[in-house]
Copies of this chain bind each other. A is one copy, B any other.
Amino acid sequence: MTSTDSPTLTLADVAEQLEARLVGDPSRRVTGLATLREAGPSQIAFLANRAYLKDLPGTRAGAVLLSPELASSCPVDRIELANPYLGYAALSRLFDPLMRRERTGIHSSAVVAKGAILGEGIEVGPNAVIEAGVELGDEVVVGPGSVVGADSRIGKGSRLHANVTVYHGVVIGARAILHSGAVIGADGFGFAHDGAGWQKIAQLGGVILGDDVEVGSCSSIDRGALGDTVIGNDVKIDSQVQIAHNVQVGDHSALAGCVGIAGSTRVGRHCMLGGGVGLSGHLTLCDGVQVTGMSLVTNSILEPGVYSSGTGAMPNALWRKNAVRFKHLDDLAKRLARLEKSGRSG
């Protein structure tokens, strides 16, 4: 038996955990989740999007999570709840092998500085490094090869996967998840030009991550120049994201992959940035702003709503002849205005 085996739950267990209504055999055992189309008799499926309603009649799932109004079409046992997508999220966590792994303490190859303050039930993986003055809350997991720099604090129940780097003086809240390759607290990009070249500005601020923050693989959150870079509670950050010094991101915002945010920009609460979005520095985005993928934002946005830039791909031959016109847009507009004027005056 390995540490990534799935658990076995009865449908009664599932219904109880989800506070949902079971219509079916409470003793039926299930060992995982799958789509309606792919699930077998030992798996639970879910229907959270009417686009998949067509897959319901033929499903071979052991049971289906769905809303009461669709219950009558379900050919197998069912678990009814108002929001099946939230139910799926909750159920996915029940089946998550990581949730059930026992904490294994401090591996003999880990290097933990004297005086580090270690909570109860923690795990520090092989070849991980905990520097002086660090505080790890209860049940914190520091994965293999991860490094926590001097005087940093990591809140209860947070998990650093393998090969994560947290610099010195970083504060991370409770229940954070930091994926491999993530780097929290590297220097912001600050230099003064002396006429000949660059003089480094030491980055003396820190980074503060709230509770329930997730940071994807290979993402960077830089430390502040003077004050701190601040990521609010329940902020979700995907992979390959760059957050520069002194950025502030409000609670519950979500940043998709490859987003880049330049220095000192403030993103509000409940914002959503699509993949590859770039925000210039020193901007303010108010609460509730959504920006679609690969848009460039160079001005503050002070009204909630959806914002976009760019143009979508088209066949190269078509693109070539149109793109070349872009540099004549101003000329086209002026010529059009002249024509209009001559038409009116003619």
A-to-B contact residues, CB < 8 Å: 2-4, 32-35, 38, 83, 85-86, 88-90, 92-93, 95-99, 107, 109, 111, 125-127, 129, 131-133, 143-145, 147, 149-151, 161-163, 165, 167-169, 177, 179-181, 183, 186-187, 189, 191-192, 194, 196-204, 212, 214, 216-220, 222, 225-227, 233-234, 236, 238-242, 244, 251-252, 254, 256-258, 260, 262, 275-276, 278, 280, 291-299, 301, 305-316, 318-330, 332-333, 335-336, 339-340, 342-343
A-B contact pairs, 15 of them (CB 8 A): A86-B192, A95-B202, A181-B186, A197-B212, A198-B254, A222-B239, A240-B240, A242-B275, A299-B313, A301-B313, A307-B316, A308-B323, A309-B314, A325-B330, A335-B340
**Assembled-state Cα–Cα distance A207/B301 (Å):** 38
Chain B CB count within 10 A is highest, among A143, A183, A241, A343, for A183
A308 to B316, CA, bound (A): 5
Other A-B pairs beyond A92-B225, A262-B293, A311-B326, 16, CB < 8 Å: A3-B168, A34-B227, A126-B129, A161-B165, A187-B216, A189-B236, A197-B251, A198-B252, A220-B257, A240-B242, A260-B276, A293-B296, A293-B298, A306-B315, A318-B327, A319-B327
Say whether A181 contacts B183, CB under 8 Å.
yes
Nearest Cβ in chain B — how far from A68, in angstroms? 19
Q: Of B197, B292, B324, which contacts A234 at CB under 8 A?
A: B197
Bound-state CA distance A295–B293 (Å) is 11
